[in-house]
Amino acid sequence: MQTPPHTALAVEAVDVTKRYGDLVAVDHLSLSVAPGEVYGILGPNGAGKTTFLRMLFGLIRPDSGTVRVFGRTWADSGVGVLDGVAGFIESPRFYPYLTGRQNLEGLALLDGGDRGSRSRRIEGVLDVVDLAGREGDKVAGYSYGMRQRLGVAASLLRDPRLLVLDEPANGLDPGGIRDMRALVTRLADSGLTVLLSSHHMDEVEEICDNVTIMARGQVAFHGSIGDLRAMAPDPGHLLSTSDDALAVALAREQHPDIAVETDPEGGLVAIGSRERLSAYVADLVRADLELRQFTPTQTPLEALFFMLTDTRTDTRTGTRSAKGAGR
Ligand SMILES: Nc1ncnc2c1ncn2[C@@H]1O[C@H](COP(=O)(O)OP(=O)(O)OP(=O)(O)O)[C@@H](O)[C@H]1O
């Protein structure tokens, strides 16, 4: 067994490919997660995020390429590759007829230690995930968000250096999403490395340092959230006036630097920089058109996500599919 280098990356994937028959679920993926960072793997459904995380956990093997975790590979270290790694793929599973605490006790027993230290560890993790006070309730009565947080608690019992979470906010209501994001942020602030998958750009933007965006198994973007913001396109707006035909004509004649098109679902879509759109709207008002609607279709980062992953039908406006996708 090789000794991993002291300064090893938390995760290093090099040219990893996984096929299912003719389908290339992960296609030559390379990425590096530095210790201490929160790293997001973002992509629409079917992009290959879970397949990659399964390879990291050794649940499936890549057809080619290497996944290193703290410098170790499955080939050289076997299950030892998961030393210091915890997390869950899809949703964590618990015995619903046992309480949250009993579930954690069962898991803590597997890791050993005396009764007192197990109990202290359990209290500590319940506190971190904000379930203290609810640990005596049966898991069957937990909300989905509480189960997800119990999953994080179970992972933290092992005192990991790397926490891997597969779409942790999936299926949560807005309150649950807020709690989960706050929890991940707290864990990251404590120095834990977090690798999470998501299909929510706003989640990744809010809590991650770096991101890989995947589409159909391939990398569509690698970089920091700052790099991503710098690439974001002009925002689109839904526009409706008392005379949409005149509004389009006015844009073509006087505002060639913005795009105004008819939206198949009614009204117009206007795309351009904030300043130019403001000037256009002022001209509409000056032309005595009544402005009935002027609302952003998506944030610039959402627009970029849909462009990079090509998950909308019209790559220039993309209004409708963007609103429906991944939400
Ligand atoms: N065991 C399998 N057998 C065949 N195809 C599979 C298998 N697992 C995944 N796939 C396919 O591989 C592709 C990537 O799936 P994966 O679950 O990794 O995507 P994902 O990005 O995690 O999507 P989601 O957000 O829906 O979980 C999909 O087309 C999926 O249907």
Instruction: Determine which residue's CA is closest to atom 18 belonging to ligand 1.
Output: 48
Measure 254 CA to ligand 1 centroid, in angstroms: 48
Print pLDDT tens along the chain (327 aa): 454 554 689 999 999 999 999 999 999 999 999 999 999 999 988 999 999 999 999 999 999 999 999 999 988 888 888 889 999 888 788 999 999 999 999 988 877 667 777 888 899 999 989 898 898 999 999 998 899 999 999 999 888 999 999 998 888 888 888 888 898 999 999 899 999 999 888 888 889 999 999 999 999 999 998 888 888 777 788 999 999 999 999 999 999 999 898 888 788 989 888 889 999 999 999 999 999 999 888 777 877 788 788 764 333 333 333 333 332
- Whether this model's ipTM surpasses 0.90 comes out as yes
Answer whether 232's CB lies under 8 Å from 303's CB: yes
Structure tokens at 161: 């250096």
CATH of domain 11-230: 3.40.50.300
Structure tokens at 216: 């159909």
Q: Pocket of ligand 1, candidates 17, 42, 51: which has the most ligand atoms within 8 Å of its Cβ, to mutate? A: 51
Measure 312 CA to ligand 1 centroid, in angstroms: 20
Domain ranges of the chain: 11-230, 232-324
Pick left, alpha or beta for residue 70 (phi over 0 → left; psi -120 to 50 → alpha; otherwise beta): left
Measure 50 CA to ligand 1 centroid, in angstroms: 7
Instruction: Determine which residue's CA is closest to atom 24 belonging to ligand 1.
Output: 45
Domain 232-324 has CATH 3.90.1300.10: no
Q: For residue 199, what is the DSSP state?
A: S
State how far the alpha carbon of 252 is from the alpha carbons of 187, 244, 245, 270, in Å: 52, 12, 11, 12
Query: In b/e form, how buried is each residue of 295-315, taking b as 16+ CB within 10 angstroms?
Result: eebbebbbbbbbbbbebbeee
Q: Do domains 11-230 and 232-324 have the same CATH topology?
A: no
Cβ(54) – ligand 1 distance below 6 Å: no
Q: Pocket of ligand 1, candidates 16, 18, 50, 59: which has the most ligand atoms within 8 Å of its Cβ, to mutate? A: 50
State how far the alpha carbon of 104 is from the alpha carbons of 57, 113, 135, 154, 183, in Å: 21, 14, 9, 6, 18
